[in-house]
Amino acid sequence: MTQPASATGSLYKKALVTTIVSSALGLGQLPIFAQQENGNKEETVTITASRFKEQSARLPTSITVITKEDIERSNAIQLAQLLRNVSGVQLSSTGGKTIVSMRGISAEQSTNNVLIQVDGRRLNYTDIAAPDLESILVSDIERVEIIRGAASALYGDQAVAGVINIITRSGQTKDSTANLLVGNFGTVQGNVNLSRELNPNWSVLLSGNYLETDNYRQHNEQEQQQFALKFNYLTEKSDWLFEYNSNDEKLNTPGALLESELSSPTFSRPEFENDYVDSKQDVLRVFGQETIDQNWTYALDINYVDSDIDSVNSFLNFPTNTVNKTQREQLSIYPRLKGQFITDSGSIDWTNGIDIDDASYDFSLLGRANDQQVHSFYSQLLFPFSNRTDLQLAWRLAKVEDRLTDAALYPQGVKLTNSAHAYDIGLIRQYSNKSKSYLRYSKNFRFAKVDEQAYTAEGVTGLEPQTGQSIELGWEGASEYGILSLSGYELKLEGEIFFDPSSTPPAGAFFPGANVNGGNSKRLGAMIDYQLELNKRWQIGLNYHYVDADISRNDINDNTVPGVSKHSANGWFDFQLNPAANWYLEVNYRGERYQEGDLANSFEPIDDYTLVNTAFNWRLDTFGLGLRVDNLLDEDYISYAQFNGFYPASGRYAYVKLSYQF
């Protein structure tokens, strides 16, 4: 069964800290520098959207970059606070864990269709558990890049609706910082980042974080400890990073409520009183870049993740004390080679790479285990037709092999193999250094995950890859009146993989329904994003996203995809009170949507809501004082709902943060 992402929880670690450093080769996402102009002010924007150095002006897609300055202005301490304000992004929460949706993909399916990475390391898993955004320490973030649209050709499996790249501080970071935060719901958090230059080539970054909170609802206490150590080696031709980080978290999970209980949103039902998620994760990473000569650059990224999770997961009216043990290991090796050749019209950039992902998964409750191998080859060519027009061609071939065991469905084990391909054809026209337009057609795919393969309809052995196609066009321009971005897209999916409650379950099933290659779906959307710097003290931003998401199958004709809001909008403004202080205000609107899993649209839609968040920051020399209040008006609303189980969102949440830079 495709459970809600919260049922499986987030994932984490088990210490095995010895192998990868000895295989010291690799590079994650490489910084690139692109010049953009905001009025008369020229500034450098760093992105990594092409997996190699590439000017943003040449990429035929919509990209939003959240900078460190944006983070400081908003006084955010969670990644969800940063993403909530981005056009086209919709967030859901299930008692402490955040799910990110994009481009008309439901929260239930977003974990398999939106790829999230930290420094080139996938946070998505080979099962259906949601990427653990809460394991990312915001004080470590250098920037966040949101790439909208299908990116399967460059990023492979799960990059159907978009990619979110989180880039953290490296050992080359010059500043050392310490933060102490106190908030309501019994929240206390402290973290420190120590950066030191060891010699002209070597530098080190040491960071630690401790968080303790009761959260908004009953039985939702959380304790988290994080540690990271990074060594950087930098010369004119080499750029290397050696990293180890760990995350240890204990979280009580309050479960869902019935509709009749929503008048007491902090309540947790008795059947969930023993539910919890205890998780541990260790990550080893070695990456680097080597300049071979004036035309060729080589890069290689190696990541190893070892994570364990112990949990008790009850359902509405079905309590349990059974402890589920989940173990995961994943080794990823990403070598790539880029050639750059200068012509009279510009540079020809040719990137080729191989992605190797080997993962193992074991889930004690269902006697379910899987060894998965995904091997891919990809190639991208950027060719200049003229000084202002570029053609992008990209292609990927991927193969997956699952060796799956399930106590109920495949007690003797089964071997499942599949392959898929993706490609991009894009055209970018640069009218000036202030405006561009683009047009892109993409073919995308995703493979079924272990939980989906192990709970298919009776008589079905394994699911086929989900495939799709998308087309998008857009325009971006800057003037004295601000920066305006317009885009439209159509995303069609064929054989979309989801849990169908009306499908015939496998033999011996405990509940109705099964995972299927369902019917076809289509999402037609448009976005507008506008930012304006009125003067040195006032900045404003507005964005709006519209999406019409429909799904069709034998017994359903163009029903709305559940969990998707047709309308969403955000607005923010920042006022620099004086050189040392600023006031920040944002408003987030999300329209109504059907419950997750309600393919028939038979239940009443979940109401729309509007959130108001505000922050104040003041700095004196090396000291800073920040205040942020989320849900300022204490709005009651539903963050996630599935099969008439409702997860109320947090009420008003305020905190004060004291920071010191040294």
Quickly list DSSP for 443-508: EEEEPPPHHHHTSBPTT--SPPPEEEEEEEEEEEEEETTEEEEEEEEEEEEES-EEEETTSPPPTT
pLDDT tens-digit readout, 440-491: 999 999 999 998 998 998 889 999 999 999 999 999 999 888 999 999 999 9
Per-residue pLDDT band at 34 (split at 50, 70, 90) = very low
Q: How far apart are CA 248 and CA 280, in angstroms?
A: 5
**Does the pTM of the predicted model rise above 0.85?**
yes
Domain for residue 616, yes or no? no
Please give the residue that has the higher pLDDT: either 126 or 171: 126
Helix, strand and coil percent figures for the chain, each rounded to 5: 10, 60, 35
Domain for residue 218, yes or no? yes
Per-residue pLDDT band at 49 (split at 50, 70, 90) = low
Domain for residue 626, yes or no? no
Query: How many Cβ atoms sit within 10 Å of the Cβ of residue 259?
Result: 13
Please, are residues 266 and 229 in contact by the beta-carbon 8 Å criterion?
no
Q: How far apart are CA 116 and CA 89, in angstroms?
A: 13
pLDDT tens-digit readout, 606-662: 999 999 999 999 999 999 999 999 999 999 999 999 989 999 999 999 999 999 998
Q: How far apart are CA 62 and CA 436, in angstroms?
A: 11
Pull the structure tokens for residue 15.
């210490």
3-state secondary structure at position 410? strand
Residue at 300: amino acid letter = L
3-state secondary structure at position 22? helix
Helix residue spans in 101-197 (DSSP H): 107-113, 152-155
Host domain of residue 181: 5-548
Q: What is the CATH number of the domain that holds 22?
A: 2.40.170.20
Q: How far apart are CA 170 and CA 289, in angstroms?
A: 14
Domain for residue 643, yes or no? no
Which residue, chain included where needed, has tokens 């999406």?
A: 547
Domain for residue 628, yes or no? no
pLDDT tens-digit readout, 269-284: 999 999 999 999 999 9
Q: How far apart are CA 215 and CA 218, in angstroms?
A: 8
Max alpha carbon distance in the chain (Å)?
72
Please give the residue that has the higher pLDDT: either 173 or 217: 217
**Of 172, 206, 212, 211, residue with least CA distance to 192:** 206
Domain for residue 501, yes or no? yes
CA atoms within 13 A on the CB side of 483: 19
Q: In this structure, which long-range contacts are made by residues 383-387, counting pairs with CB atoms below 8 Å and at least 24 apart in sequence?
A: 383/348, 384/343, 384/345, 384/346, 384/347, 384/348, 385/345, 386/345, 386/346, 387/345, 387/346
The proportion of the chain whose per-residue pLDDT surpasses 90, expressed as a percent, equals 72
Domain for residue 631, yes or no? no
pLDDT for the residue numbered 253: 96
Domain for residue 342, yes or no? yes
Backbone φ, ψ for residue 129 (5° rounding): -60, 140
Residues with Cβ within 8 Å of 264's Cβ and at least 6 positions away in sequence, in order, are none
Q: Which residues of 223-235 are buried (b: 16+ CB within 10 A; e: fewer)?
A: ebebebebbbbbe
Q: Name the domain count of the chain.
A: 1
pLDDT tens-digit readout, 53-71: 455 557 788 888 999 889 9
Pull the structure tokens for residue 51.
């997996």
* CA 561 to centroid of chain Cα atoms: 21
